[in-house]
Structure 1
Amino acid sequence: MRSTFFDPGQMTARLNLEVPVETPDGQGGATTVFEERASAWALIEPVASAVAEEAGSEIFTRTHRIWLRWRTDVSIGMRLRKGARIFRIGATEDPDETRRYLICHCEEKLP
């Protein structure tokens, strides 16, 4: 496997890693809230944008490739936050299988 060259100095965005926590609502369901677990420096690369109609209004969605240093505690369903921006993690990968970096394929909904 060929090693991926990546300049870690490009990781200039400070992101918070958040995990979903479900709390029973007393009626058989659950309320999901997100709790911050860690902070990390990252590189955010926009990949694509799309527009969809939802409930009579346009919803803009942008996908991103977010590079982090390797972590074992990141999985699908978590999210990354930068201020008011929320990036939902849909998939993760180790680009060169050396456990140096982790790429999170994320989706961001825009108002």
Structure 2
Amino acid sequence: MIDPGRLNRRLTLLAPVETDDGQGGVVRSFAAQAVLWASVVPLAAREGVAADDSRAALRAKITLRAGVALSRAHRLADGDSVYRIIAWRSRERGALLEIDAETEQT
């Protein structure tokens, strides 16, 4: 049984859209595909330095109802935070999806 109070955040599922860049490559952007109710639980941050730019990757466990077609190219937006999907698995006998995700903070 799913406790409906657990899924208390509205996230926007962003689908990848690739367009021709005119030089033989593509430019990837994202378009809103659906609004989903979810639970977002912050996990430990991971720090890294790349090209003299210090950023922290904030990790989160996101839970939402099953039945959503996902790929690792999709993103989940929560206001200004955009989560990159790392992995996902079924929970509660296939009723829920539990997603490992991360977002960068500057």
Q: TM-score, normalised by structure 2?
A: 0.92
Aligned to 1:110: 105
Instruction: Provide runs of 4+ in structure 1 moved above 6 Å.
Output: none
Q: In structure 1, what is the equivalent of residue 20 of structure 2?
A: 24
Higher strand residue share:
2
- In 1, Cα distance between equivalents of 2:24 and 2:86: 27
SS of corresponding position for 1:77: coil
Cα separation, 2, equivalents of 1:95 and 1:72:
14
Equivalent positions of 1:1-111 (< 5 A) are 7-96=3-92, 98-111=93-106
Aligned partner of residue 71 in structure 2, secondary structure: coil
Cα distance in 1 for partners of 2:87, 2:4 equals 21
Counterpart-to-counterpart distance in 2, 1:105 and 1:69? 15
Q: Which runs of 5+ in 2 are unaligned?
A: none
8 A Cα contact 1:75 1:92, kept in partner: no
Q: How many aligned positions are there?
A: 106
Report if aligned partners of 1:18, 1:37 keep a CA contact under 8 Å in 2. Answer: yes
Q: How far does residue 76 in structure 1 lie from its aligned partner after superposition? A: 1.4
Tell whether the 8 Å contact from 1:17 to 1:36 is kept in structure 2 after alignment.
yes
Please provide the CA RMSD for this pair: 1.4
Tell me which amino acid in the other structure corresponds to 1:74. Answer: L
Residue segments in structure 1 that go unaligned for 5+ positions in a row: none
Distance 1:51 1:92 in 2: 22
The answer to whether the 8 A contact 1:46-1:62 is kept is yes
Shift in Å, 1:6: 5.3
